[in-house]
């Protein structure tokens, strides 16, 4: 399965939130019209086994909630197994022998950091003055402290392989990409991204329940 081995090897789990409710940028193969899948394999390679299982299960649960049959990758790639050491033929044989006619893979394609200046503005603060028996309120201009913080923008891409037959199994039939800035917690980010991804797949007819 062309390029699948490479994609699995380079993927590092980094799923973060974004303002939009669907993928920001999408591409679809001209010959692909969307279809119903018998079983989709969701693959995530993470720095730890627990992160991998958690991320895959969240995505699987979201797909299943929409009536799509999907499983995590544990039946195909065992815990502790070094996927990058497997040959393309071995990966392909495992996927096809497992009855998967679709493979959903996510990967980090870019990350950029920059220093963002914040503060430094001015604001007015009321000040009370007393002149004998008279009290007068005036305003003074105060300067906010200026500081810099690091802002990181990630580009996360998800690709769908249709592995139903030899004519399509080597091709990406759909991909979606989002620019995401400054993630919060990992758990909430995974849930948010999974919701956005599946919503895009369903509403665009890429994957039909």
Residue 13 is assigned to a structural domain of this protein: yes
Residues 6+ apart with CB under 8 A from 17: 180, 183, 184, 188, 189, 192, 193
Q: Left if phi > 0, otherwise alpha if psi is -120 to 50, otherwise beta: which for 99?
A: left
Burial annotation 170-203 (CB, 10 A radius, 16+ → b, else e): ebbbbbbbbebeebeebeebbbbbbbbbbebbbe
Which tokens in the block code for residue 49? 């086994």
Q: Which residues pair with 119 in a beta bridge?
A: 146
The confidence score (pLDDT) of residue 67 equals 96
Residue 124 is assigned to a structural domain of this protein: no
Residue 160 is assigned to a structural domain of this protein: yes
Range of the domain at 81: 4-113+151-203
Burial annotation 60-89 (CB, 10 A radius, 16+ → b, else e): bebbeeeebbbbbbeebbeeeeebeebeee
The confidence score (pLDDT) of residue 17 equals 41
Q: Which residues of the chain have pLDDT under 70?
A: 1-21, 45-47, 108, 118-121, 123, 127, 129-143, 147, 166-170, 180, 182-186
Residue 11 is assigned to a structural domain of this protein: yes
- Torsions phi, psi for 10 (to 5 deg): -90, -10
Residue 88 is assigned to a structural domain of this protein: yes
Residue 208 is assigned to a structural domain of this protein: no
Residue 55 is assigned to a structural domain of this protein: yes
Q: How many CB atoms lie within 10 A of CB 28?
A: 17
* Overall number of domains in the chain: 1
pTM attached to this predicted model: 0.74
Residue 145 is assigned to a structural domain of this protein: no
Q: Domain containing 199 — which CATH number?
A: 3.40.50
């Amino acid at each position: 399965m062309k390029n699948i081995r490479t994609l699995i090897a380079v993927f590092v789990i980094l799923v973060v939130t974004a303002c939009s409710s669907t993928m920001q940028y999408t591409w679809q193969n001209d010959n692909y019209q969307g279809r119903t899948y018998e079983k989709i394999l969701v693959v995530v390679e993470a720095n730890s086994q627990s992160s991998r299982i958690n991320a895959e299960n969240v995505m699987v649960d979201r797909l299943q909630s929409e009536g799509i049959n999907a499983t995590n990758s544990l039946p195909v790639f065992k815990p502790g197994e070094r996927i990058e050491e497997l040959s393309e033929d071995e990966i392909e044989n495992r996927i096809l022998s497992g009855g998967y006619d679709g493979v959903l893979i996510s990967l980090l394609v870019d990350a950029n950091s920059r220093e963002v200046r914040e503060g430094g503005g001015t604001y007015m603060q009321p000040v009370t003055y007393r002149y004998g028996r008279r009290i007068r309120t005036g305003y003074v201009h105060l300067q906010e402290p200026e500081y810099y913080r690091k802002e990181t923008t990630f580009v996360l891409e998800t690709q769908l392989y249709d592995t139903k037959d030899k004519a399509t199994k080597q091709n990406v039939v759909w991909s979606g990409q989002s620019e995401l800035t400054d993630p919060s917690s990992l758990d909430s980010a995974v849930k948010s991204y999974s919701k956005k991804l599946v919503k895009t797949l369903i509403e665009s007819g890429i994957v039909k329940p």
